[in-house]
Structure 1
Amino acid sequence: MSYFSRLTDIVTCNLTHLLENADDPIQEIEQIIAEMKEGLAGANRSVKTATSNERAIQQELEEHQQQIFQWKEAAKNALAMGDEAEARNSLVRKQEIEDLKAGLEQQHRAAVATREHLTTTLHALEARLAEARRKQVELTQQAGISTAPTEEVAAAPEPESTVTPSRSEQIDSELAELKRELGQ
């Protein structure tokens, strides 16, 4: 049985509700965690792709900006040499590049928004997976079962931490703020 058809299903799921009616909650939570890991892997790939797309567009924008500068300089040089027709042609090319750049700027804003949305979804998935793992420990402890991972779970390498470096910095900053509030 597949629990999740979309990544948003993982984010919005109620683990307690899913496990209440299960014949074997421990087996069910293992399946849920496995599906969450698959979703998380896909979300990681999506974030990497979106980040790569954003960078590629940014690089293209920078190249266009350089071309705009070059065409403007070409127009200045043509005018300095008394060739108004060539200066006009250079300015036409500059305007064409500016129009292309304007379209790319819209694409870049969309790429940034996509990356930010996917990153937010990824963080929500990481949080939901952490919750499922805590629930798994709770269920196995209630059942009196050793918390050692099963062969199936042990075969899949676990990431060292689901806390990304930027998240870790946020947590450190928030922790420092709380200590200041408490006067520590």
Structure 2
Amino acid sequence: MKYFFSLCLILFLGGCSVNAGMKPGRAKNKNYVSFFKDVGLMQYFIKPAKAEADGYVFEIDYTFREGEKAVNDSITVNFSLSSDKKSAAKVKKLILSGKERKIIFDNPIIIFKDREKNLIRYTTTFPNKKKKEFTELGDFHISVKTNKKNIVFRSKGFQKQIETLNFFLNPFNPEED
């Protein structure tokens, strides 16, 4: 009986430690990090992608929640624009342009400015109920409109972000069956 109890205890403890080293959101895809927020609510952060054009550096990331409690949530789009010039330009519009679809973010909100690095960080949101538009972007580029110019950024990293985002926003795609 003593050996049976010991064997059961070893199997139980061994089974508990199997998943101990696994980090959420890291199993197959290193483009995102997931966080448990509450019962029925997970938060996902799509890691930043970066591109350079016309002396500017652009970086973008996405945060969203999924689950029963996230029905009316939105996708948060944060991005930074920096420059080696004297000051970073104020962004009026952020445009994700694909062949079939264009997503426009008007007047993004400034989160902070770093004058030493000539960097401005912005945020804007996109309604969860319109998330299907992200799946329709296909191969796309990002345009940043300022008062003085239109800067176009291209990066394979942008495409990887949207593919990761679509994986969560469209978990079941009947066309793939």
Query: Does the alignment reach a TM-score above 0.5?
Result: no
More relative contact order in 1 or in 2 (CA 8 Å, sep 6+)? 1
Choose 1 or 2 for highest CA Rg: 1
| Higher share of residues assigned strand | 2
| Higher share of residues assigned helix | 1
TM-score (ref. length: structure 2): 0.29
